[in-house]
Amino acid sequence: LPVYTQDPQAFYYPILGDLVANHSKVMQEYDVVVPDNTPVNDLDEVVAEMQHAVLLLFQGSNFTSYTNVHMIEACRVSRSLLPKLPAQVQTQLIRRLWQAVLYNFAIQSRPQVGSTAVGEATRSWDAIVAGAFAQGDTHLHNLVWSGVAESKRSTGDAALYQAAADKALALFEAGGKWNF
């Protein structure tokens, strides 16, 4: 895959067009393979792995990518929707979700992926929630909401979510803003 030097926000659609027109065969090699009859619990695990990958991409952006925040929320919502969908739609959703993650990874010029050693959050969820709502950014609110929801699921990523929300909040408190 090429490494794009253009601003991914300003050139999103031209880059996406190039990926589709010239690199879709390569992108297909990375498609997730899930048979239509896969049990919903197994599909939930697949999406949880996607969610973990996107959290690591978010970490790799130094917790500044609002595109990754959208992908994190898409994974969380997909996990909530899976049990309510017909089996064929479940697998179709997962395939399209993974394509969205892959294409956005490529559009962002394959950024460095973080490691699981993110460190601990310095604040409790209550403090993070209060701090986030003192900020006016809805992307930050979504990230915090996703983190709180996932921490209630007792997933393995609960600490990573909390640290990510804490660091994203610190970005805004310091006067920073999201990158693409």
pLDDT in tens, 54-76: 998 998 888 999 899 999 999 99
Q: How far is CA 94 from CA 54, 85, 113, in A?
A: 14, 12, 21
Q: Which residue has the tokens 């310091």?
A: 174
pTM over 0.85: yes
| CA pseudo-torsion sign 42, 44, 45, 46 | positive
Residues 78, 97 contacting (CB under 8 angstroms): yes
Amino acid at site 37: N
User: Dihedrals φ, ψ of 65, to 5°?
Assistant: -90, 110
pLDDT digit string (tens) for the chain, length 180 residues:
888 989 888 999 999 999 999 999 999 999 999 998 899 999 999 999 999 899 989 988 889 998 999 999 999 999 999 999 998 899 999 999 999 999 999 998 887 776 655 566 689 999 999 999 999 999 999 999 989 988 887 667 888 889 999 999 999 999 999 988
Give CA 142 to chain center in angstroms.
Answer: 11
Residue 179, strand partner residues: 65
User: Dihedrals φ, ψ of 39, to 5°?
Assistant: -60, 145
Q: 97: Cβ–Cβ under 8 A, 6 or more apart, which residues?
A: 47, 50, 74, 75, 78
